[in-house]
Amino acid sequence: MKTGLYQGTQLKQEMKINPRLYQAMDLLYMPLLDLQQHLKQELLNNPFLEMTEEAEVEETSAEAEKEKEKEKEEEIDWEEILLNGFETGGRREEFEEREHFEPVSIATRDLSDHLHDQLTLLRLSDRELLLGEEIIGNISDEGYLECSLEELVASLNEFLLEQGAAWGGSAAERALFTLAEAERMLRAIQGFDPAGIGARDLRECILLQIRDGVAQEITAGTGHSEPLPTELEEALRGRLCYRIALDYFDQLINHRWSEISKELSITPKDVQDAADIIRQLDPKPGLKYGNHDDNYITPDLVVEKVAGDYLVFLNDTNLPRLKLSRTYKEIAMDKKKFVGENKEFISNKLNSANWMIQAIEQRRQTMLKVMNFIVDRQREYFERGVQFLKPLTLREVAEVIDMHESTVSRVTNEKFVQTPRGVLPLKFFFSSGLSTTSGEEVSARGIKAQIQKLVSEETAARPLTDQAIVNILKKEGIQIARRTVAKYRDQLGILSARMRKRV
């Protein structure tokens, strides 16, 4: 084989997407709030774009005359701006003075701050404070200690060995930490608010909350700041819920009431009552001090019932209305004045402005087409509820409105619609279907709603099994397998019949 460099010709077909097509797809994908910010940025970047102003309140004749004189004094040479850049006079300074800044969210206090405040109230040495801060630093947002005490002690001792005298403190304070010290500090932190904090698993979290509740009852009855340890332990031994969580936790989480009742020589009803008390406790106590940001939803579309018909509107009243700047457009028409970079700049910005206006209008029309078809298809849902939701796929919508399936997916992604039945994501209306004996199809989401309704209305002593639900749905003409019912039940967070049974 002879090696070397050769030249040759070759014909091949390639598909390349225009950059503007990418931008158009991005506009379709953007939710309303994102689109608002994008258009505001375009208004700043492109001088050929401007907002369509709403009708202003009429001024008095004297004020109007005064304003005209002021405008004459501050008149700007637009040709000079286009030819020599945008460093102009008074108007720019006035704009900067009126510049509006979006409000910035302020850092809020979280669980770690809450625990640190309580730690500083204790009389601790620097050594103990370091240990306490290390434990708090390893508590998750849910309130659980995420590492073992052995790992925590090893990490702190490694720190002491590295820092040595540089850390400060006496030689006794620089001594290596022991597991017993970590246990004592963890017990102190577990006494902090909220109850159950610093637990290593769910069982310990439940026990800590029961302990805290009993301690509060004792202090309320005696008037002491804290109950005596012996008094507290004696009261806990008398609490059935504490004994069950301590010694029969596996049976508890599996609802094996009869096994626990036999072990404790009590009735299954007593066990169930104790389990109900435990169910009221918080499995993730740290979340109440979590940093919860308010996520506001602005619907992109609105569906209203007017004279018996469901009408679709775009919720774009706050969206900047774009138009071509008449001043810039007139100047750009005199092409003899502009050459080189100036000509290219004007051409690009003018084309970009025209394309942006067209792309926004195309987005509006596409969204209206999609939502109008959904309303026509799901009219029975709007009239009668989720059980009458029909199966619908993106492909069906794409075929009807004569667009690609990916376009419909972008239109419906992260978009919300305000309807007489609440604010819903557009994806809510899309689901697979199941056949009925009459040959029609029902939505899987509607089947789930029926299953949830059947379970909510069942007798607690005799809950419906998956097969019983299958038989009930079959009487209503819905063909469904038992394993499908079990899958839908799991997705709804509904326990099995054995776990739902009450004495």
pLDDT category at 220 given cuts 50, 70, 90 is confident
Q: Which CATH number fits domain 433-503: 3.40.50.2300, 2.50.20.10, 3.40.50.150, 1.10.10.60?
A: 1.10.10.60
3-state secondary structure of 301: strand
- Over pLDDT 70: what percentage of the chain? 77
pLDDT category at 114 given cuts 50, 70, 90 is very high
Helix axes 19-29, 405-412, angle to 10 degrees: 40
What's the average model confidence in pLDDT over 365-380? 90
**Contact, 130 vs 173, CB < 8 A?**
no
CA distance 451 to 475: 14
Higher pLDDT, 132 or 343: 132
**Token pair for 89:** 């006079």
**Contact, 239 vs 210, CB < 8 A?**
yes
- With 80 as the cut, is the pLDDT of residue 378 above it? yes
- With 90 as the cut, is the pLDDT of residue 143 above it? yes
- With 60 as the cut, is the pLDDT of residue 347 above it? yes
Q: Render pLDDT for 380-430 as a digit per residue (tens, 0 to 9).
A: 889 888 878 888 888 888 888 888 888 888 888 888 999 998 999 988 888
CA distance 71 to 90: 11
CB count, 10 Å around CB of 215?
18
Buried b (16+ CB within 10 A) or exposed e, 314-345: bebeebbebeebeebeebbeeeeebeeeeeee
Higher pLDDT, 20 or 258: 258
Contacts of 274 (CB under 8 A, 6+ apart): 240, 241, 244
Q: Which of 81, 104, 83, 79 is nearest to 91 (CA)?
A: 81
- With 60 as the cut, is the pLDDT of residue 99 above it? no
Length of the chain: 503
Q: What are phi and psi of 325, to 5 degrees?
A: -70, 120
305 sits in which H/E element: strand 301-306
Higher pLDDT, 23 or 424: 424
Q: Which of 32, 17, 13 is nearest to 315 (CA)?
A: 32
CA distance 202 to 209: 11
Residue 295 confidence (pLDDT): 66
Q: Which of 108, 136, 111, 142 is nearest to 122 (CA)?
A: 136
Q: Render pLDDT for 431-461 as a digit per residue (tens, 0 to 9).
A: 877 766 665 667 888 888 889 889 988 888 8
pLDDT category at 75 given cuts 50, 70, 90 is very low
Q: Which of 64-68, 346-350, 417-421 has the lowest mean pLDDT?
A: 64-68
Residue 78 confidence (pLDDT): 43
Residue 144 confidence (pLDDT): 95
Q: Which of 8-12, 94-98, 257-261, 335-339 has the lowest mean pLDDT?
A: 94-98
- Over pLDDT 90: what percentage of the chain? 25
Higher pLDDT, 237 or 244: 244
Residue 139 confidence (pLDDT): 94
- With 50 as the cut, is the pLDDT of residue 101 above it? no
- With 90 as the cut, is the pLDDT of residue 206 above it? yes
Domain ranges of the chain: 111-289, 433-503
356 sits in which H/E element: helix 340-377
Q: Render pLDDT for 283-335 as a digit per residue (tens, 0 to 9).
A: 999 988 876 555 677 888 999 999 889 999 988 777 777 777 777 777 667 66
Average pLDDT, the chain: 79
